[in-house]
Amino acid sequence: MAIPFDQHEGQIWYDGAFVPWADAKLHVLSHGLHYASAVFEGERAYGGEVFKLGEHTDRLHESARLLGFEIPYSAETINDATRELLKRGNLVDAYVRPIAWRGSEMMGVSAQHNTIHLAIAAWEWPSYFDPEQRLKGIRLDMAPYRRPDPATAPSRSKAAGLYMICTISKHEAERKGYADALMLDWRGHVAEATGANVFFTKEGRIHTPTPDCFLDGITRRTVIDLARRRGIEVVERTILPEELSGFEACFLTGTAAEVTPVSEIADFSFQVDDITRTLMTDYTAEVTPSSEARLAAAG
């Protein structure tokens, strides 16, 4: 049985100091818990270094700005703390989770004067999906909820509250035997999975939804760049659910998912094609440090 996350060992960087894992606590009346005034990042360390750490930290700051607060630590401070945290934990290949939230000085919708807290945790991280099944392609259900209209939520932020419908949708999919769920947007267009962006292939081209109401993932942009380096055309456009039957392959991208093939979405089936396999290989090469860098990270 997996160790509960509040019982891990090690240290967490919390408001400027490294504290024992078990002591990284917040009050039950913290505003971030009650009103979702919290933003976070999901980061992956390979060889002791977080892939595109600077981009993740910049997005964390931007997410906070979109929620109307300012993180009281510079990007340099956050990046240095992240690297030190990995070293202290002897973590070479790991998942890193920074989170910022409003504290407990005021309890109500308005919390203008609450302290802004920041914590960073890191731990060893296996494959997000079952490794054997991942090579065959995972199965997705259709999510019961849709990504909201940007006029109703700060969709360009990685805000905690935006993931509520993702958790509900993923749980429902898992109860049915699926690994994840495909979400549509408020217009009924294909959007993304519950925690990853989605791509399709057809006749040598890659098609992916325009991220106008969901997160334009850092891994998403990396994979688009890798495809274009290969001379593969990537088309960002509106994709309708009825088009799913015409695509040859499908894959997800994300910090946790990396590049993961999809074999089914509800009643639609896909193959794991050469484009998908190529991008899986290219992404692994892109994030894997040199042997010298890995030795240095290991100590």
What's the count of helices (H) and strands (E) in the chain, helices before strands?
A: 8, 16
Nearest in space to 35 (alpha carbons), one of 81, 122, 98, 102: 102
Return d(Cα 138, Cα 262) in angstroms, integer: 5
Give me the residues paired with residue 201 across strands: 206, 249
Question: Considering 158, 170, 176, 202, which one is annotated as catalytic?
Answer: 158
Burial class (CB in 10 A: 0-12, 13-18, 19+), 170: buried
Return d(Cα 98, Cα 234) in angstroms, integer: 31
Return d(Cα 244, Cα 241) in angstroms, integer: 6
Residue 243 has which token pair? 């088009």
Residue 158 falls in the annotated catalytic set: yes
Dihedral over alpha carbons 156, 257, 85, 26 (to 10 degrees): 60
Nearest in space to 45 (alpha carbons), one of 98, 101, 100, 99: 98
Return d(Cα 81, Cα 26) in angstroms, integer: 20
Strand extents, DSSP E, 152-272: 180-184, 190-193, 197-202, 205-209, 234-237, 249-254, 258-265, 268-269
Return d(Cα 30, Cα 166) in angstroms, integer: 23
Q: Is 191 helix (H, G, I), strand (E, B) or coil?
A: strand
Cα angle vertex 142, ends 166, 32, to 5°?
10
Active site residues: 158
